[in-house]
Amino acid sequence: MESRSPTRQNGPFKYDAYLGFGVSDLPKLNLLRDKLEQRSILCYPKYDAANRQQSIKSAIREGVARSKKCLLYVSDSFVDDPYYKYEVDEVLHKASRFSRDMVIVVVDPEVVMPAKLVSCTAVIYAVLDDSTLTDPSFLHKLTTALTTGTCMLIHHY
């Protein structure tokens, strides 16, 4: 079943960003997704009602494969998610084939960045609180990272 978002018609990637996150973060990531889609960033979320007949592993595999970049929201919920290891392995496999520029991580203020992700990530945003996810400055920088080929390491503390 297709996601609720339209897809890109040309090229191998139908989405701009795969959104990986823990199930408890669904409300805030739906809000971030809406904000990104208002900026013409097409997203493929790991958890999406439109994909509920698809297994989570299939959604992860398809989302990572069909997206230009992988945006991971690293929180306790993400790290505790039963699909965490599988998801990170899929993202790291794609990064090894393409470029670490395609991995973007947004880190929850309470979480220590997993070492496995640090070495493969070109962009890391550490957010102060949930309001950062809707801050226009943050959204501009995130949109730039998602749409450009080369990313910089940026921390928000």
How many whole angstroms separate alpha carbon 64 and alpha carbon 156? 26
Is the residue at 5 inside a domain? no
The CATH number that applies at residue 110 is 3.40.50.10140
User: Look-up: residue for tokens 């928000």?
Assistant: 156
List pLDDT tens digits, range 1-51: 344 446 666 667 899 999 999 999 999 999 999 999 999 999 999 987 666
The domain in which residue 80 lies consists of 15-147
How many whole angstroms separate alpha carbon 141 and alpha carbon 133? 11
Nearby residues of 135 by Cβ (< 8 Å), 6 or more positions away: none
Q: Are 133 and 35 in contact (CB under 8 A)?
A: yes
Is the residue at 113 inside a domain? yes
The whole-model pTM stands at: 0.84
List pLDDT tens digits, range 131-150: 888 889 889 888 988 887 55
Is the residue at 93 inside a domain? yes
List pLDDT tens digits, range 61-116: 999 999 999 999 999 999 999 999 999 999 989 888 876 667 888 888 778 778 87
Residue 18 confidence (pLDDT): 94
Residue 147 confidence (pLDDT): 85
Count of the separate structural domains present in the chain: 1
Is the residue at 10 inside a domain? no
Is the residue at 96 inside a domain? yes
Is the residue at 85 inside a domain? yes
Q: Is 121 exposed, middle or buried (CB count within 10 Å of its CB: 0-12, 13-18, 19+)?
A: buried
Is the residue at 46 inside a domain? yes
Residue 152 confidence (pLDDT): 45
Is the residue at 140 inside a domain? yes
